[in-house]
Structure 1
Amino acid sequence: MTSRLYVNGRLTAEGFGIDEAGDRLRNEPDAVLWLDLDAPGAADLATLAEQFGLHPLAVEDAVQDHERPKLDHYRNHLFLNVYAVEFDSEPRKTEISAFITPRALITVRKSPFDLTTLTRRWDDEERPAGTGVDFLVYGLLDLVVDGQYRAAQRIDELMDGVEDRMLGDGPAPRDVRRHGFVLRRGLAALRRAVSPMPDVVRDVAKELAGDGHLRPYYRDVEDHARHAVDLIEHSRGRITELLDDDLAEQSNELNVVTRKLAAWAAIIAIPTALTGYFGQNLPYPGFEKWWGFLLSSALIGVSASGLYVYLKRRGWL
Structure 2
Amino acid sequence: MSNDEAGRITSCRWEQGKVVDEGFPLADVSDLLQREDSLIWVDLCEPDHAGLRALADELGLDRHAVEDAVSAGERPKATRHAKHTFLTVYATQLVSGAETSSAPADPDASGRESRLRTSRISAFILPRGIITVRSSADFDMHQVLERWNDDPELLQLGVGALVHGLLDTVVDGHFESIQQLDDAIEGLEDLLFEERGQVHVVQVRTYRLRKELVELRRVVLPMRDVVNAVLRHRGELDQRHTELDGFYDDLFDHVLRAAEWTESLRDMVTTIFETNLSLQDARLNTVMKKLTGWAAIIAVPTAVTGWFGQNVPYPGFGRPWGVLFSAGVIAGVAITLYGVFRRRGWI
| Same fold per superposition (TM over 0.5) | yes
Partner residue of 1:41 out of 36, 48, 53: 48
1:123 matches 2:149? yes
Question: What's 1:293 paired with?
Answer: none
Question: What's 2:117 paired with?
Answer: 92
1:181 matches 2:218? no
Question: What's 1:105 paired with?
Answer: 130
Q: Residue 171 of structure 1 contacts residue 246 of structure 1 at CA under 8 Å; is this kept in 2?
A: no
Q: Residue 116 of structure 2 contacts residue 212 of structure 2 at CA under 8 Å; is this kept in 1?
A: yes
Cα distance in 1 between the residues matched to 2:10 and 2:76: 23
Cα distance in 1 between the residues matched to 2:283 and 2:153: 58
Cα drift, residue 169 of structure 1: 3.5
TM-score by length of 1: 0.78
Cα drift, residue 19 of structure 1: 1.2
Question: What's 2:166 paired with?
Answer: 140
After the TM superposition, which of the residue ranges 83-92 and 240-249 deviates more from structure 2?
A: 83-92
Question: What's 2:253 paired with?
Answer: 223
Question: Which stretches in structure 2 are left out of the alignment for 5+ residues?
Answer: 1-8, 97-114, 307-347
Q: Residue 6 of structure 1 contacts residue 32 of structure 1 at CA under 8 Å; is this kept in 2?
A: yes
- Calculate percent identity across the aligned residue pairs: 39
Cα drift, residue 252 of structure 1: 3.4
Query: For residue 226 of structure 1, what is the amino acid of its counterpart?
Result: L
Distance 1:128 1:223, change over 3 A: same
Question: What's 1:281 paired with?
Answer: none
Deviations 1:51-106 (A, max 9, x none): 11111111111111121111111111111010111223332211011111112211
Cα distance in 2 between the residues matched to 1:104 and 1:60: 20
Deviations 1:126-145 (A, max 9, x none): 76353411111011011011
Cα distance in 1 between the residues matched to 2:188 and 2:148: 39
Question: What's 2:343 paired with?
Answer: none
Question: What's 1:200 paired with?
Answer: 226
Cα drift, residue 257 of structure 1: 4.8
Distance 1:211 1:120, change over 3 A: closer
Q: Residue 69 of structure 1 contacts residue 80 of structure 1 at CA under 8 Å; is this kept in 2?
A: yes
1:78 matches 2:85? yes
Query: For residue 248 of structure 2, what is the amino acid of its counterpart?
Result: Y
Cα distance in 1 between the residues matched to 2:208 and 2:268: 14
C-alpha RMSD of the superposition: 2.5
Cα drift, residue 234 of structure 1: 0.8
Cα distance in 2 between the residues matched to 1:130 and 1:87: 35
Query: For residue 232 of structure 1, what is the amino acid of its counterpart?
Result: T
The one of the two structures with greater contact order (alpha-carbon pairs below 8 A, sep at least 6) is 2
Cα distance in 2 between the residues matched to 1:111 and 1:38: 6
Question: Which stretches in structure 1 are left out of the alignment for 5+ residues?
Answer: 276-317
Q: How many positions carry a matched residue from both structures?
A: 271
Question: What's 1:295 paired with?
Answer: none
TM-score by length of 2: 0.71
